[in-house]
Amino acid sequence: MRSSEIYSKKKVNNISRILENVGDIALRKRAEWLINNLHLKKGEKALDVGCGDGFYLHILSKLKINLKLYGIDNDKKALITVAARFKKKEVKLFWCDLMRKLPYKSNSFDKVIMSEVLEHLQDDKVGLKEVYRVLKPNGILCLSVPNHRYPFLWDPVNWTLEHMLKTHLKSGFWAGIWNQHIRLYEKRELKEIVKNAGFKVRKIQSLTQWSLPFNHYLVNLGARLLTKKSFNVVTSGANKFEENVKRSFTVNTFFAISNLIDRLNSSKELEVGVSLVVSAKK
């Protein structure tokens, strides 16, 4: 196989540039891991399951390797937002429910990305088996889920509630890592679920042990302020979809401190981390 056909190291480095404006450390680290472990090749068909606001489709489109991109979600409003970001020829979007049969033939996709989706499904096993069906033989699935062994600094509120009172906040601003999630995952549990769906697990690890205290809440607050024009001076340069933008002093300071703390995050195998990420093969 010619080196020109494979996702080159130069393009891998481009991911860091594409993600340079992502203030959420956990999102940045898992996005980089997921994209790198897809081992993308020119012209492949890639499906984003639960595409949400279209951020992963945005990253994939920026790689400039002529991928055939597809995205599905059960949120119509989210799909309308995603459609506005792309030309019709760039991404094909479908509204559908992963708990039912997807609108694709078996063995349709070379690669599938599934980030922060399983924890929302009533039956994660059914969802994974449907993803297995539409993936081609030897195709790669890369997914991420929230780790039940998350660090205290990421979500002090729920960490304290879980460890002291065996409960947690389920929704709202202060719900943190548990917000609208049916479950969080242990590493061994996740590996078994993926294997039982038919996949061969190639790699599984936790990411992001260190972050700013209340990082998740700070990013959430920043996202809310982005929608208010009166805060433009404070939030300029904080949009994760933007590149090469001039940041406000406040945003620049946040990124500087956040990136400094991120240096503490080791590549060594850890149990504690915000995210669990998996690379699996059909």
Task: Please report whether residue 128 resides in a domain.
Answer: yes
Read off the pLDDT of residues 178-188 as tens digits, 9 standing for 90 and up: 999 999 999 99
Phi and psi based region of residue 39 (left: phi greater than 0; alpha: psi -120 to 50; beta: remaining)? left
Read off the pLDDT of residues 170-218 as tens digits, 9 standing for 90 and up: 998 888 899 999 999 999 999 999 999 999 999 999 999 988 887 777 7
Q: What is the mean pLDDT of residues 10-35?
A: 84
Q: What is the pLDDT of residue 242?
A: 75
Read off the pLDDT of residues 81-128 as tens digits, 9 standing for 90 and up: 999 988 766 899 999 999 989 999 999 999 999 999 999 999 999 999
Task: Please report whether residue 194 resides in a domain.
Answer: yes
- Taking the whole predicted model, whether its pTM rises above 0.75 is answered as yes
Say if CB 202 and CB 280 are below 8 A apart. yes
Task: Please report whether residue 84 resides in a domain.
Answer: yes
Task: Please report whether residue 120 resides in a domain.
Answer: yes
Q: What percent of the chain has pLDDT over 70?
A: 86
Measure the CA–CA gap between 133 and 44, rounded to whole angstroms: 17
**21 phi/psi in degrees, rounded to 5:** -105, 15
Range of the domain at 125: 3-150+179-211+266-281
Looking at 4-8, 233-237, 275-279, which range is the least confident one?
A: 233-237
Task: Please report whether residue 258 resides in a domain.
Answer: no
**Beta-ladder partners of 6:** 41
How many domains does the structure of the chain reveal? Answer: 1
Contacts of 194 (CB under 8 A, 6+ apart): 128, 141, 143, 201, 204, 278, 280
Task: Please report whether residue 21 resides in a domain.
Answer: yes
Contacts of 83 (CB under 8 A, 6+ apart): 91, 93
**265 phi/psi in degrees, rounded to 5:** -70, 120
Q: What is the CATH number of the domain that holds 112?
A: 3.40.50.150
Q: Binning pLDDT at 50, 70 and 90, where does residue 66 land?
A: very high
Task: Please report whether residue 259 resides in a domain.
Answer: no
Measure the CA–CA gap between 258 and 254, rounded to whole angstroms: 6
